Chains A and B, each alone.
Chain A
Amino acid sequence: MDEALEREKKEEFDASEVEYVSYGGEHHLPLIMNLVDQELSEPYSIFTYRYFVYLWPQLSFLAFHKGKCVGTVVCKMGDHRNSTFRGYIAMLVVIKPYRGRGIATELVTRSIQVMMESGCEEVTLEAEVTNKGALALYGRLGFIRAKRLFHYYLNGVDAFRLKLLFPQPGLHPSLPMMADRDDAQEHDDDC
């Protein structure tokens, strides 16, 4: 109980004291896993983490305050249905005492920046419909709520699929109608 209260307590710090680093190797993995396990509802195996950080280390960032890891973002990018090069934000966590100070925005902005520079046409993610903080954060970054996913999470809560479309030079490309491949997380019909 005391521990929980301790965790709830707001930390006093200066924003300039927070240091952002790109994923730097296996020594960062336990830090990321620890944060995500603490804060997110879904359990992930170590393979899931490695899948992301080994394949797209440039898209994962960690935030440190006085040597302590206080936030992280984990992402991927790739062809979606062989038609769209798409970035995907898999996990974004900032521990409670450090929230509300723009750390999450900074982390996710860095990832999105890299995605844009790498040629992504859009970025997507899912967020619980009840997660007002996350929805506001992504709204400010230009994400729209593209669709609602009924009972998406194992806890029975609906999710929004949020999407950010980057400005396209000229008209947007014609999209092939057929799709033969789908990603695992996206048990949606079309995402």
Chain B
Amino acid sequence: MDRHALHQPSSSSSSIPATANTVWTDASPLLEVACKDLRDGELIHVDNFNLYAAMSALEIMDPKMDSGIVNRYCSVDEAIEDGVAPVPISTDKTTDVQCMIDIMDHLLTCEATWHKGHSLAQTVFSCAYLLRPERTSSHALLHSYCKVIRATCKAVITVVSDARTHEEEDLFTMAYGLPLSGDGDEKCLSLLNAVEENISRQLRACKAPSSKRKPLEDIEPLQTNFDLEEGYCKALLCRLRFRKHFFHVLTCMRRPQGRGLELARKHIASCISELGVILKSAEFLMSNAHGTCEDATEDRTTASGHQAIGFDASLNSRISAPTPPRSIKILSWKKAIEYFEKLLHDLDIICSYPLDPSLEVLLRFVAQFQKAQPDLVARAHLQLLLVQDGKLYGKCPMFSLIIRAARLPEVFLHHDIQKNEYVVQLGQLVINMLKILCTNAAWQRRKLGKILQDWRVIYVQIELAFRKDFGEGSSISNGDNASARILKHILIWVDEQTYWISHRFLILGFELELYSPSEYCMVYWYLYVVLIRLAEKTHLKMTVSDGSAKQKGKKRKDSPKELARDAKIPPAISFLQCQICLAEGLTVLLAALRNELMVLQSPSPFNSEHERFIQHFELLQKACIPDNISYPSFKESTSYARFSTLAMYNYFKDAQKIAKEARSGFSNDPDRLAELRVLEQVAEHNSIALNVICGVGALDPSLKVSFEFIHHPCFATVVVKRS
């Protein structure tokens, strides 16, 4: 460290402010002397020269680091002067149309690559035509297409930056120095419509039988080869229409309170059908491609297989500072179309959501939506739909959402307690949670882990407020104090919701592949413990709200019919019970494998399983979820697991039975019915596997047991093989 001590005169400690009397001197000679002190390879190290500074340092003229290095061209204008992006693209009208279609296709692949996480500058704006909006004005087709592309990019950036919850996807919205708003781009649709109309007429003209062609003869054909006229008109039309409908989708979805969703769905359907036509146009375009196809492979970025004119990814390298861009691989044309099909499908799911006021329904919807791993653009749209102006769907106050979630009657929707500071804070926590649930799984899990603490704190605060205002002895049973009742219900719900978050936190770990097989035992054990608490809390919430409802109706509680109904387990609880059995079964099986076969243990030189337990569940433990749970409790409950006990008590059989019985409760819920079926499958499979292990010989060394996620993303299927 001393070798890098500060080569600074001590007087430089800069607490003396510059004033009018300050005398400025040239420090160059001093610096020169200081430099002579330095030998080759020495480094001046000051406190603020941290890793960031080191990594931001450039090596001039190193192509991997110096973004100012001259690539092919010094500037966009130089590239244009050199003929990179001619207008018209070709003086031959047929070639011009062919090139135009290639440009459209390549732009689509660039756009998909951008959505998938690369910079706008290196993808869409690698197109020189987009970079100089005024240059294309003489070419109506090219001009209108460039306009709609810029306007679309701008709209998408707005959605993502409005939804912004984290910096991981920063790259997406970075558009510094790019001409995102050309003059009149906002009117892109009228120009696009005019161009579309013109090509439609050209199409009609060429399709008309020759006898009737006369009155239409004033229409100039699209290009010069009559045999190709229809094919090219159609290829252009589907591309233009796709852009038009896609732009409409984006604008409709941004209407407040979800008012444009129905219309958006119509445009989504049109987009998907135009994509189909675009895909079909490939055959025609490939067979008539101008010149030789350089790249007719699966990697091609255009339908024709011809390389598009006017693109150079290095054009923007200078505005991409601080880090010079790495070269990236643009998606193939086929992959780009697949991307847009998926995006549109995801957007359609959002648009078809009935904006249900129940949080329970909403949370299930979001979880189901996330299962398909939607990309950033779709997730941003969902988030903006869910939370607008601090309200659910922009219209439903958070308090009313909480009242419904806590199963309180609607008469309390306008109760004054909504002004209570903790209730207001709770509303904020719900908003925050909803936003987090719309982010990518990796980020989502981290944030869910963090907010557990907040949910715990608010619980304690509300509980304290409740005790203070209503005293230790206050009980819901007297029921005459509305505030007490509301707070009591809210508390029960907050507790349940906290366990819901914990549960999601744990299961996302499977999706993200954070657990290794030697850790499965502790993960399933923890999942089991959390699921039990979640079921308890849910049940409590139901019982309390049913109890209050009954009390209000002054029904006699002891009627036999009533009791019979009470005894019936609600479907939501059965659903959890089935998972509890699966988690417990897997825990015991894994523990038995470890205890008897000595497998799935991972001794390590530097730490033990205890440390790995602490690390995996740190955030849950910090929030006391659940209370009094620690590594010793895990050891205690698993160290005696043996196959003999498993043989006597088959948890998987229970899970299977519960899953079967619970089905009838979900006849109106296809998603949960489907999941129940999968759970049943896992239970059945594991039950058989367990019999094999216990029967044929747990101690047979040729038996290989593995855990695979072939049916369910988080409940493993036990696979037994003989080696």
Contact = CB atoms under 8 A, between A and B. Distances in A.
Interface of A: 26, 29, 43-48, 50-51, 54-55, 76, 109, 112, 116, 129, 139-142, 144-151, 154-156, 158, 160, 163-167, 172, 183-185, 187, 189-190
A172 B612 contact: no
A50 B54 contact: yes
B572 interface: no
A30 to B, nearest CB: 10
Top-8 shortest CB links A-B: A184-B52, A142-B604, A51-B54, A43-B64, A47-B57, A148-B442, A165-B611, A150-B442
B601 to A, nearest CB: 12
Nearest to A159: B442
Contacts of A141: 604-606
B187 interface: no
Given A48-B55, A76-B51, A144-B616, A190 B450 contact: yes
Contacts of A172: 614
Contacts of B3: 54
B606 A150 contact: no
A54 B59 contact: no
B577 to A, nearest CB: 30
B606 A183 contact: no
Contact of A55 (B1, B55, B59, B605): B1
Nearest to A172: B614
Contact of B51 (A154, A165, A184): A184
B55 A145 contact: no
A184 B50 contact: yes
A184 B169 CA distance: 17
Interface in B581-602: 602
Contacts of B328: 156
A187 B443 CA distance: 12
A68 B610 CA distance: 41
B166 A166 contact: no
Given A183-B52, A185-B51, A54 B615 contact: no
Interface string B500-522: 00000000000011111001000
A41 B4 CA distance: 29
Given A150-B443, A184-B53, 5 more contacts: A48-B55, A54-B3, A142-B604, A166-B607, A190-B446
A29 B602 CA distance: 36
B512 A148 contact: yes
A187 B51 CA distance: 12
Nearest to A143: B604
A185 B65 CA distance: 16
Contacts of B672: none
B165 to A, nearest CB: 11
Contacts of B612: 142, 144, 165
Contact of A166 (B53, B167, B611): B611
A139 B602 contact: yes
Contact of A163 (B41, B440, B615): B615
Contacts of A158: 442
Interface string B364-376: 0000000000000
B59 A145 contact: no
Contacts of B59: 45-46
Contact of A50 (B43, B117, B447): B43
B424 interface: no
Interface in B41-98: 41, 43, 45, 49-59, 62, 64-65
B54 A48 contact: yes
Nearest to A49: B54
A187 B167 contact: yes
Nearest to B3: A54
B254 to A, nearest CB: 25
A189 B168 CA distance: 9
B441 to A, nearest CB: 8
B118 interface: yes
B606 A166 contact: yes
Find the residue from A55, A160, A165 having the highest chain B CB count within 10 A.
Answer: A165
Contacts of A116: 606
Given A51-B51, A129-B513, A142-B607, A156 B116 contact: yes
